[in-house]
Each structure stands twice: as structure tokens, then as C-alpha cells.
Amino acid sequence: MNLHKLLLTNNACYKAGRTITPKGIMVHSTGANNPNLKRYVGPDDGLLGKNPNNNHWNTDTPDGRQVCVHAFIGNLADGTIAAYQTLPWNYRGWHCGGSGNDTHISFEICEDALTDGDYFNRVYNEAVELCVYLCKQYGLNESNIICHSEGYKLGIASNHADVMHWFPKHGKSMDTFRAAVKQALAESAAPAPQPTPDPEPATPGANIAEGALVAFKNGTTNYYPGSVNVPSWVISDYYHKITQVTSSGKPVVKGGKVCVLLGKKVKKSGGAEEAGINTWVDMDALAVVGAPSTGGNSATYTVKQGDTLWGIAATFLGSGARYPEIQAANGLTSDVIKTGQVLKIPTK
């Protein structure tokens, strides 16, 4: 998950400051052919890009309407997919025109022309990861997730079609979405995977080590045999940092191949670090492009702009779902962190 925060503090909804106890999550889509986050989130933070019309939602009444959601998902200026938190999660949003405002966290997925399968898959996966994150924060599960059109059928939202005018065009529905969230929640709660006992796999070589910078080899199609396909942008646009090479001191085997865990992404153009794919990958599908940095096991980390606890946990602990361990180690009572803040990182 590539989660950032830019609260819409000038929006009348934010200024109202009403809070809720979240009971669910409502998924929306924008209903306009503009996949760029800068249309809705602003001002530019160096990643969004400048909105020449300055018609983002960080105004009192965007487009003359009383509207505000908790997050948006869409394109950054460089084409990377990201999620931006725009309201505190426990604030009452103005998103569905009904009583769902009193109970549901909301986010909008920025629509394109509804025909680009690659863009859809990337925002769909980002939305799944955001829902997993929020479920863990508020003790929710997949059954607590609905879309706007389902909210209308339940009598808690206005009559809108989103997202069921879009998802089926790409073979998805809210049922497949909830199933993906359920699977991700189960995987994050499961014990660390164990290697198959027969045959006994070899330990990854010294060049494949924690902290190494790697790239996918040409011709790679799957993370490991039998897995889902690797999105083209993961291969073409990024290097990746290895965060884990074993589990409980033993190699991790998936699809009959020894795998390593990839953490933070590093943009090939410019070298900017971003939250990673956090996925086990066949080490034979990877080529080392940089050696591990010294001091990578430091007990502290200084927060950089755009960091999240989820992303930091994914980088240093091997799973974003372990962010509560960092909260506990630092006495944090929320997920809010600030640039320059020094965090203690618990040992693995």
C-alpha cells in the first residue's frame, strides 16, 4: 500500500470536526474521467503535481457542494498509484447523502474512461490493501465493506451506481472485492510460511541478502510458479529492496521455489523510495543491482515525508500488518507520524 496523508483542512466537513465510531467502509468512485489525484487532493505536496484549475477539494465547498471523503485512490504525477488520507478516519464524512455518513469510513477511487485494465487492477489492489489496513485499525472485516450502490439498497445512502457500473467491466464485483480483503486479512494473521520438507531447499546465496536492491529479470511473468501475474509496472518502473530471506531461520518455498520478501520500491527514474509490494518472490526471478547497505539493522528510523507506519513496518519487519509493534515500541496511540520523528524499530 502506498498511503500518504494530506488532510483537507479547508473543507467545511473537516472544520465541522464531528466524529464517529466507524462500523464499516464504503467504497466510492468519482464518476468522472480523470484518474489523477491532484484533481481532488491539494495543494501539491511534490508528488501529486499541480492542479492548474485549483479545483481540488481542499476548499470550503468543492464545486459548490458539501462533500468530503476520508481518502482518494488514483495516479500521482509520475503515474504511480497511491492512496491519500484526506480526513481523520474517525471524522464524520459527507460522502453518501444518508445515515452511512454516521457509520462508515469512505474513500473514492479516481475513475478513468473505465476501459484501462492495467489502471483498474492497480487501483483495485490499492483499495483492497487500504480496506485491510482500516479493518485492522477498527476491528472490522470484509462483511463490513459495501459500495455506494449497496448503501442505497440498504437505505443508508443516496441513489448512486458506483462502483458497480465499473467493476464488472473488468470481471470484478463487490463480492470478489470482499473476498480479496478476506484473503489478505487471513494471510496477514497466519503464521509465517514454512518451507516444504522434501526436497530440502538451498539457503539463498550471499548476494541475495536482506537490504539488497534487486530488479525482476526479463521475461518474468509470475511472482513464483502458480502465483498471480506480476503487473508490468512493478517490473518496468521499479527496483525493489529485499526485507526478508528466511522465516524462522529457514528458506520460504512457494510453488516449489525458494522465495525472498520484497519490501520498499525504488523508482528507477530518480531513485525515490515508496511503500513496497510486500510479496514473496522466486529469487531466481531476481537480479541483484545493489548490495545491502551497512547499518540496515539500526534500532531507530527517522520518518521521511510520505512515510506511514504500515510502510515502515513492511520495510523493517517484513509485513505492514506488524505496524502495531512499532506503535507499542514508541508509545503511539494513533497511526499519525511526523517528518523527522525518530522511531524505535523492534527486532524481528
CATH of the domain at 150: 3.40.80.10
Q: Which domain holds residue 154?
A: 3-189
Percent helix, strand and coil across the chain, each rounded to 5? 25, 25, 50
Is residue 273 domain-shared with residue 124, that is, in the same domain? no
| pLDDT score of 250 more than 80 | yes
Please enumerate in sequence order all residues whose Cβ is within 8 A of that of 199, keeping only pairs 6 or more positions apart, or say none: none
Q: Is residue 232 part of a domain?
A: yes
Is residue 183 domain-shared with residue 236, that is, in the same domain? no
Confidence of residue 52 (pLDDT cuts 50, 70, 90): very high
**What's the pLDDT at 81?**
94
Range from 85-94, 188-197, 227-236, 254-263 that averages highest in pLDDT: 85-94
Is residue 81 domain-shared with residue 12, that is, in the same domain? yes
State pTM to two decimals: 0.59
Q: Is residue 201 part of a domain?
A: no
Distance CA 327, CA 343 (A): 9
Span 228-248, mean pLDDT?
Answer: 86
Confidence of residue 344 (pLDDT cuts 50, 70, 90): confident
CATH number at residue 305: 3.10.350.10
Span 89-106, mean pLDDT?
Answer: 96
Q: Is residue 146 part of a domain?
A: yes
Span 68-90, mean pLDDT?
Answer: 95
Q: Are 122 and 231 in contact (CB under 8 A)?
A: yes
Q: Is residue 196 part of a domain?
A: no
**What's the pLDDT at 239?**
79
Weakest mean pLDDT among 55-59, 177-181, 206-210: 206-210
Is residue 146 domain-shared with residue 70, that is, in the same domain? yes
Is residue 28 domain-shared with residue 174, that is, in the same domain? yes
**What's the pLDDT at 240?**
87
Does residue 272 or residue 216 have the better pLDDT? 216
Is residue 123 domain-shared with residue 185, that is, in the same domain? yes
Q: How many domains does the chain have?
A: 3
**What's the pLDDT at 226?**
86
Q: How far is CA 271 from CA 191, 268, 276, in A?
A: 34, 6, 14
Is residue 183 domain-shared with residue 278, that is, in the same domain? no
Is residue 267 domain-shared with residue 304, that is, in the same domain? no
Range from 148-162, 208-222, 245-259 that averages highest in pLDDT: 148-162
Confidence of residue 194 (pLDDT cuts 50, 70, 90): very low
Span 213-228, mean pLDDT?
Answer: 87
Q: State the cell numbers at 127.
A: 483499495
Distance CA 343, CA 204 (A): 30
Digit-coded pLDDT (tens) for 22-33: 999 999 999 999
Residue 45, number of CB atoms within 10 A of its CB: 16
User: What element of type H or E holds 74?
Assistant: strand 71-75
**What's the pLDDT at 281?**
93
DSSP 131-168: HHHHHHHHT--GGGEEEHHHHHHTTSS-S--TTTTTGG
Percentage with pLDDT > 70 across the chain? 88
Span 199-210, mean pLDDT?
Answer: 52
Confidence of residue 300 (pLDDT cuts 50, 70, 90): low
**What's the pLDDT at 190?**
56
Does residue 152 or residue 244 have the better pLDDT? 152
Digit-coded pLDDT (tens) for 29-49: 999 999 999 999 999 999 999
| pLDDT score of 200 more than 50 | no
